Amino acid sequence: MHDIRFIREDPAAFDAGLKKRNLAPLSAELLEIDKRRRAAISESEAAQAKRKALSRQIGMAKAKGEPAETLMAEVAALEETLKKGEAEATRLDEELTHRLEVLPNLPFDDVPDGADETGNVEIRRVGSQRNFSFQPKDHVALGEATGEMDFAAAAKISGARFVFLKKHLARLERAIAQFMLDLHTSEEGGYTEINPPFLVRDNAAYGVGQLPKFAEDMFHTDNGFWLIPTAEVPLTNLVNDTIVDEKDLPLRFTAWTPCFRSEAGAAGKDTRGMIRQHQFPKVELVSITTPEQSDAEHQRMTGRAEEVLKRLGLPFRTIVLCGGDMGPASRKTFDIEVWLPGQNAYREISSCSNCGEYQARRMGARYRPKQGPKGKGGGTRFVHTLNGSGLAVGRTLIAILENYQNEDGSVTIPEALRPYMGGLTALPAPVGAAAGKRK
């Protein structure tokens, strides 16, 4: 949500931010609505003040036994004027709110210009792509060969974009999530583990910017709940309508949850395999901090997500998204893309975003500074909220299968995960793979 006071004070900066989003300038339209809204409020307040004054005169006239009919008629006329003025002010307020709540956040000045992913800027690469002595397979071929990745059975039960993971792959997915949680909740990681609700009401989805604009991308129950598209929704809403003390910031939360997305805008995209599903597990990172610390917290969060890939020995690159490719709530986003040999491409595995006060303003999430201007206490400010994947568990599983595959179809387990796999060092090759190779 945007602050209309900021638009009044610096309409040029507001329009410049929209331009980074490849949107037309809107400050003039919004300020015209705001002008009429404030005029309607002023007229209503003037009518209220006049009504009070006339009411006092009526009381004084009656006390003196003087006629008050004319004054009473004037008050009755003001009642009608007041009702109309209040209705107009309410209508204009709702119109302004609706216009503001669907607009995306304004990018920071250092966000690159660009209309789409072609405007994104790579800032670093870590790790080396493996040179295979054989043609590497994608995760679908590897998983279906052992029967432990079953899309056909899932399609019979739930339809497209679902999968059954079985035996070793089911355990590997759980191991990956546990490894991530242990890393993030360590003293170095500093995140508090949360087990949140997976169903939320409208106000929670609205608070992080999912509603009203992205309702079609979420699943809705027939009794008023939304299935979470990411744990960002419940975790960020922990500070909804709350004032926290600055000494308690930053707050850092992590959670491993299923996520549910309708993928309404992804028809025809990534239809093969586990890349884009309706239900998928993810370890989420959320930070609540002060405006002064949000940039450093953003860098730190991105670093913690990268650390997962470093410890798993998976090559990746980190990019900063351009204004035209960022999510609507973000002011700046770093995407981390892992190398997938089966696709011969880098694919997103984490998106870490600094949302500034955009979500906090929608949620009413504030903090009380240690001291106000010039050392004086009092007053509150909106917190800054940040979120990121730490990481997408399913895509991490895909990356491990494809990067650690062996020619016989077995998959070496990264050392960091072996304690979570009961000491297992490799996922077995398909039955008969070795014999088939000898023939």
Strands (E), 97-240: 121-126, 149-150, 164-165, 192-193, 199-200, 226-227
Position 148 pLDDT exceeds 50? yes
Alpha-carbon torsion angle 60, 63, 65, 71, nearest 10: 30
Alpha-carbon torsion angle 42, 46, 49, 53, nearest 10: 170
Provide the pLDDT for residue 24.
98
> What pTM was estimated for this model as a whole?
0.92
Residue 176 pLDDT grade (very low, low, confident, very high; cuts 50, 70, 90): very high
Q: Which range, of 209-213, 239-243, 292-296, 298-302, averages the lowest pLDDT?
A: 209-213
- Radius of gyration for the chain, computed over Cα atoms and rounded to the nearest angstrom: 28
User: Token pair of 395, please?
Assistant: 């895509």
Q: Report DSSP state, residue 220.
A: B
Position 157 pLDDT exceeds 70? yes
Average pLDDT of the chain to the nearest whole number: 94
Provide the pLDDT for residue 438.
38
Position 338 pLDDT exceeds 70? yes
Provide the pLDDT for residue 185.
98
Q: What percent of the chain has pLDDT over 70?
A: 96
Provide the pLDDT for residue 296.
98
Number of Cβ within 10 Å of residue 378's Cβ equals: 9
Question: What's the mean pLDDT in 350-376?
Answer: 88
Residue matched to tokens 């990067």: 403
Provide the pLDDT for residue 435.
41
Q: Is 261 known to be catalytic? A: yes
Provide the pLDDT for residue 73.
82
Which fold is adopted by the domain 117-430? BirA Bifunctional Protein; domain 2 (3.30.930)
Question: What's the mean pLDDT in 139-162?
Answer: 97
Position 74 pLDDT exceeds 90? no
Strand 426-427 relative to strand 411-412, pairing: antiparallel
Beta-bridged to residue 256, according to DSSP, are: 283
Provide the pLDDT for residue 165.
98
Question: What's the mean pLDDT in 340-346?
Answer: 97
Residue in 21, 161, 261, 331 annotated catalytic: 261
Provide the pLDDT for residue 378.
62
Provide the pLDDT for residue 374.
53
Burial class (CB in 10 A: 0-12, 13-18, 19+), 232: buried
Q: Is 276 known to be catalytic? A: yes
Question: What's the mean pLDDT in 54-83?
Answer: 81
Superfamily of domain 4-101, CATH level 4: Serine-tRNA synthetase, tRNA binding domain (1.10.287.40)
Residue in 8, 130, 276, 361 annotated catalytic: 276
Provide the pLDDT for residue 263.
85
Q: H helices within 276-382, ranges in order?
A: 294-312, 358-363
Residue matched to tokens 């650690």: 404
Q: Which range, of 150-164, 244-258, 264-278, 359-373, averages the lowest pLDDT?
A: 264-278
Report CA-CA distances (Å) from 209 to 101, 180, 204, 214. Answer: 8, 27, 9, 8
Question: What's the mean pLDDT in 275-295?
Answer: 97
Position 207 pLDDT exceeds 80? yes
Question: What's the mean pLDDT in 99-107?
Answer: 96
Residue in 252, 304, 395, 410 annotated catalytic: 395
Residue in 262, 348, 361, 418 annotated catalytic: 348
Position 433 pLDDT exceeds 90? no
Q: H helices within 65-120, ranges in order?
A: 69-101
Question: What's the mean pLDDT in 353-364?
Answer: 98
Residue in 294, 351, 353, 410 annotated catalytic: 351
Strands (E), 209-321: 226-227, 243-245, 251-260, 279-289, 316-320
Nearest one of 307, 322, 394, 318 to 352, comparing CA atoms: 318
* Overall residue count recorded for the chain in this entry: 439
pLDDT in tens, 223-233: 999 999 999 99
Q: Could you state, in order of their start, the residue ranges of all structural domains in the chain?
A: 4-101, 117-430
What's the CA gap between 420 and 172, in Å, rounded? 8
Q: Is 187 known to be catalytic? A: no
